[in-house]
């Protein structure tokens, strides 16, 4: 059996990589991928602790997070397509949404 600390370590590293991706990168698509990575890190923690304590609550919440992540990906990609058609860029710094 794999110790709980391994799951927490992997989840922490994934979350930090996602956080760094959000703070450093300027591409809108990479920022969305980083958010997905952070949500998956939370899922790993929820499932690991749920299994460790013998409860199913964390696994159920994890399913809701997966649903939210799928919706976020669909809406985010639709927004990226609309912004790219109007501005021809996905760089967050170059987008000024108040002026079309």
Residue 14 has a CB neighbour count (10 Å cut-off) of 19
User: What pLDDT, on the 0 to 100 scale, is given for residue 97?
Assistant: 63
Q: Residue 54 domain-assigned? A: yes
Q: Residue 100 domain-assigned? A: no
Q: Residue 90 domain-assigned? A: yes
Q: What's the CATH code of the domain at 29?
A: 1.10.287.3510
User: Does the pTM exceed 0.85?
Assistant: no
User: What pLDDT, on the 0 to 100 scale, is given for residue 63?
Assistant: 94
Q: Residue 99 domain-assigned? A: no
3-state secondary structure the chain: CCCHHHHHHHHHHHHHHHHHHHHHCCEHHHHHHHHHHHHHHHHHHHHHHHHHHCCCHHHHHHHHHHHHHHHHHHHHHHHHHHHHHHHCCCEHHHCCCCCC
- Asked if 61 and 68 touch (Cβ cutoff 8 Å), the reply is no
Reading the block at residue 65, the tokens are 């997070």
Domain membership of residue 41 as a residue range:
4-94
- What does each of the 100 residues of the chain score in pLDDT, given as a tens digit? 899 999 999 999 999 999 999 999 888 888 889 999 999 999 999 999 999 999 999 999 999 999 988 998 899 889 888 888 877 777 777 766 656 5
Domain count along the chain: 1
User: What pLDDT, on the 0 to 100 scale, is given for residue 4?
Assistant: 94
Q: Residue 61 domain-assigned? A: yes
Q: Residue 20 domain-assigned? A: yes
Q: Residue 63 domain-assigned? A: yes
Q: Residue 29 domain-assigned? A: yes
């Amino acid at each position: 059996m794999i110790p709980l600390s391994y799951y927490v370590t992997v989840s922490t590293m994934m979350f930090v990589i996602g956080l760094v991706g959000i703070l450093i990168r300027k591409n809108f698509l990479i920022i969305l991928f980083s958010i997905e990575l952070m949500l998956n890190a939370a899922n790993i923690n929820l499932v690991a602790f749920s299994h460790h304590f013998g409860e199913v609550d964390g696994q159920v919440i994890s399913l809701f997070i997966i649903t939210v992540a799928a919706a976020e990906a669909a809406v985010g990609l639709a927004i990226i397509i609309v912004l790219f058609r109007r501005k021809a860029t996905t760089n967050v710094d170059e987008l000024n949404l108040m002026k079309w």
